[in-house]
Structure 1
């Protein structure tokens, strides 16, 4: 079995996924909705076949899309859009080869000059915006030697930055979500030391890599309290906090193999019970990145279609990706958005 290197299961793995899933085919899109369109718009970080990062605003009522940003892809693509101020926040590599937070004002479809907001981080990705309070949350690496991701927040009015758990050196943030309504910050963490130990054992014994312990924690900003929700030895890649703050959806696998079976589970914080909601099927594989609708009646997610398309340019095979919606009441999956000339990477409301 090929030896596993430590760095390959951090954010760089996501970059390989982005570049590996790009499709070079004729552009096509489809949007349909019956239940979920009480949400006004869905925002999508999309990477096309020319390795351009495009931010789409998809109107879920009129079934129209709008291009908010298009730029070269240099690292993991992520963004957050302020409807109130018409400002798009995104990450971008700088001349110093670090990745920082930027903003760009959008007015009458005309791009204004981009403005850099952070300077002292080594790396920034995964953005969540509290549009009402003018606060943006981000996942960061503090310096070039840092191997633990943290969550930081910036007050967009004062530009003051706070890093959560700054001194913690063995509790890296894998994913996080923020609920503006309840002011709860959900963090999924893993032990870097345990991960390194598991990688060494896997290489030494030539056996599959075991997942380190992943822990879900909720921090309440209103009273500065922290609560540990659950722990699991599963490769958790994304999670979402329900609108009422009482449930967590998370996507996971038992293996780091890209072709391994995927699952989306629901965890009830009050009863402490986990329930499998969605798994790979004959139609969909690699189900991941659940996103609650604002009404909490279901969730959006990204998945790959269970079919293979050949890339004539690179002579490789890959699965096209799509965005779907799962309705809790009917347990049915609905189409949301699909475009063949690239891959949706992140989604947010």
Structure 2
């Protein structure tokens, strides 16, 4: 159940997981003025494989892409945390002080990390974490003072269960997890390949976890690629595709009833991508997601690889209406994070 994201060039980069974009409203040269607009942290990669990190319409940092980008922003201290990989495959976790431009390598090694999130007090980074030679991912934290990793879920002794996606909520200090059994996933894939049919979906487990406890909420046999939780902790949303990968929808799961239903599907003006990364606004009234707008510009790299420009859309939970929130035509949004 690997999450695959097409960046813009080279092929697709495989993630078992998320999450982060650029802001471009109808008047891209102007600062945001409406208080109801979210603050967004965005990563975008252009045709020359240059990745730009944005907070709203302001460029924070640019760097040549070496792997799928992950980032987190400390707005209070004006610090950008992000990952990169050198030519020998060494992974790095970088701290960039935006006022001075000072870079500090917090970690360098073979462990793989992605989907960065900052704790509310700014003392830790949460992430998906993978040890060398291991195939499964864990939810882990990184202490910014001691420079040490702590695995949260599953335990390091568990070589089968893998976290494919998570979202950390600063207010509650909990993460919503999407996880599954690697052995089950491989078995279903092998069986489908031997019979020449589409594989059956792996049982995807949804859980809530803090640094000490994990509680499973529901198991769903669907192809689910991402997950997010509402600010009030009552609703979960996720993106799911069919076996053929032709139909994608965003679902809403009620945590009290454990029932779920499709709320966003391909519309007249947009087509959902496999990992739409739905996320709630601070008041929970809006869901932001990634999709390809009708007539989206096609970008091509030097090798001839093509990808459609992506747009961030907003879904009003009260009116059920979808509107265009932001897009940029000179690169591909890798992902985004709603900061407020």
The bucket for the TM-score relative to the shorter chain is 0.7 to 0.9
Change (3 A) 1:317 1:207: same
1:319 matches 2:308: yes
Equivalent residue runs for 1:153-192 within 5 Å: 153-164=141-152, 165=154, 166-192=156-182
How far apart, CA to CA, are the structure 2 residues paired with 1:120 and 1:238? 27
Aligned partner of 2:45 in structure 1 is 47
Local SS of the residue matching 1:264: strand
Would the aligned equivalents of 2:91 and 2:109 in 1 still touch at CA under 8 Å? Answer: no
1:134-191 CA distances to partner (integer Å, 9 max, x unpaired)? 2210111111x11001111012233332112222211111100111111111110121
How far apart, CA to CA, are the structure 2 residues paired with 1:55 and 1:79? 8
Change (3 A) 1:220 1:71: same
Q: TM-score, normalised by structure 1?
A: 0.84
Change (3 A) 1:307 1:206: farther
Return the offset for 1:229. Answer: 1.0
Aligned partner of 2:20 in structure 1 is none
Change (3 A) 1:90 1:163: same
How far apart, CA to CA, are the structure 2 residues paired with 1:102 and 1:318? 28
Change (3 A) 1:325 1:140: same
Return the offset for 1:239. Answer: 0.9
Would the aligned equivalents of 1:247 and 1:269 in 2 still touch at CA under 8 Å? Answer: yes
Return the offset for 1:219. Answer: 1.0
1:235 matches 2:223: yes
1:194 matches 2:184: yes
Return the offset for 1:34. Answer: 11
Equivalent residue runs for 1:9-20 within 5 Å: 10=2, 13-14=4-5, 16-19=6-9
Equivalent residue runs for 1:216-255 within 5 Å: 216-221=206-211, 224-255=212-243
Q: TM-score, normalised by structure 2?
A: 0.86
Aligned partner of 1:331 in structure 2 is 320
How far apart, CA to CA, are the structure 2 residues paired with 1:34 and 1:126? 26
Aligned partner of 1:98 in structure 2 is 90
Would the aligned equivalents of 2:208 and 2:214 in 1 still touch at CA under 8 Å? Answer: yes
Return the offset for 1:193. Answer: 0.7
How far apart, CA to CA, are the structure 2 residues paired with 1:262 and 1:335? 18
Return the offset for 1:218. Answer: 0.5
Local SS of the residue matching 2:187: helix
Quick one: which of 74, 77, 82 aligns to 1:82? 74
1:47-78 CA distances to partner (integer Å, 9 max, x unpaired)? 112111111111xxxxxx11011111111111
Would the aligned equivalents of 1:82 and 1:131 in 2 still touch at CA under 8 Å? Answer: no
Aligned residues: 321
Aligned partner of 2:247 in structure 1 is 261
Change (3 A) 1:20 1:306: farther
How far apart, CA to CA, are the structure 1 residues paired with 2:311 and 2:296? 13
How far apart, CA to CA, are the structure 1 residues paired with 2:2 and 2:314? 28
Q: Which runs of 5+ in 2 are unaligned?
A: 13-22
1:98-126 CA distances to partner (integer Å, 9 max, x unpaired)? 3232111110xx522x2222234521111
Would the aligned equivalents of 1:29 and 1:340 in 2 still touch at CA under 8 Å? Answer: no
Local SS of the residue matching 1:117: strand
RMSD (CA atoms): 2.7
1:275 matches 2:267: no
Return the offset for 1:31. Answer: 4.3
Local SS of the residue matching 2:261: strand
1:246-275 CA distances to partner (integer Å, 9 max, x unpaired)? 211111112363xx2111111111111112
1:140 matches 2:135: no
